[in-house]
Amino acid sequence: MRGTFYGIGVGPGDPELLTVKAIKAIEAADVLIAPKTEKKEGSVALEIARPYLKDDIEIVYQVFPMVKDFAEDTGAWEANKAEILALLNAGKNVAFLTLGDPMFYSTYIYVFRLLEHEDVDIVTIPGIPAFAAIGSRVGRPIVEGNDILAIIPGTADKKHLEEVMAVASSAVVMKVYHNSAEIIDLLRRNNMTKEAVLVSRVGLDDERIIHDLEAHADEKLNYLSTILTRRS
């Protein structure tokens, strides 16, 4: 009998923010898939879930190329899919761990698409996204009343960023690690820096909170950095 495939959102960093359902799925798993990039050792998602792991759990690290190259080279993705299917066919329950929420800017989405047309039972368990944790951490309502919220990937085309910021009442800007100076300049020109806060690695031991974004515009930021802001 084939095992069940679980996609588990482990939240932004604090292990206590995992849902009860996520913890039960981790405890029921025979194998944990810990995604990582080619450039980094270890897995942040795995470290967040570690307090809930069984002693005999099997941990499988899988390397996933950057999503922007997905259509050009699916070889690594197909190899990971084959490995997951082999584990499921052996009757093992397999849990794929992902930061934040599985269906929100997540590598899991692409794994889900590879598996959804196979004869596999898939259970996706939501997790708390970083921006929700940041709002609670710094005491900042994300939206209220009739606010229009824009959730913006900092990696998007500059023209699209400008168009969205021009109409949003409040914004969540994610993936600001590689062009933070450009993002902060766009926020300034849209009257959105005064109310902005940037948080890196929320809920982790090296969490960092920045309120004066313009003073830190040229700094290199961690990959897990998010800005919450609203128009002044």
pLDDT at residue 42 is higher than 80:
no
Q: Quick one: which H or E segment has residue 113? A: helix 108-115
Task: Indicate whether 155 pLDDT > 80.
Answer: yes
Q: Give burial (CB, 10 Å; 0-12/13-18/19+) of 52.
A: middle
- Predicted confidence at residue 81, as pLDDT, reads 92
More confident residue, 142 or 219: 142
Last residue of a domain, one of 125, 145, 173: 125
Q: How would residue 68 be classed by pLDDT, with cut points 50, 70 and 90?
A: low
pLDDT in tens, 177-232: 888 889 999 999 999 999 999 999 999 899 999 999 988 888 888 889 999 999 87
Q: In which band, very low, low, confident or very high, does the pLDDT at 63 lie, cut at 50, 70 and 90?
A: confident
Query: Are residue 19 and residue 119 in the same domain, yes or no?
Result: yes
Same domain, 137 and 115: no
Closest CA to 128 of 49, 18, 205, 6: 18
How does residue 100 score in pLDDT terms, banded at 50, 70 and 90?
Answer: very high
Count the helices and strands in the chain (H runs, E runs).
7, 10
The model carries a pTM of: 0.89
In angstroms and rounded to an integer, the radius of gyration of the C-alpha atoms of the chain is 19
Mean pLDDT value across residues 141-162: 89
- pLDDT above 70 (res 41): no
Domain end call among 83, 107, 125: 125
Domain that holds residue 172: 130-230
pLDDT at residue 219 in the model: 83
Residues 74 and 167 in one domain: no
CA distance 199 to 188: 18
Same domain, 27 and 118: yes
3-state secondary structure of 222: coil
Whether residue 80 is found in the same domain as residue 39: yes
Domain boundary (125, 156, 190) is at 125
Q: Provide the pLDDT for residue 74.
A: 74
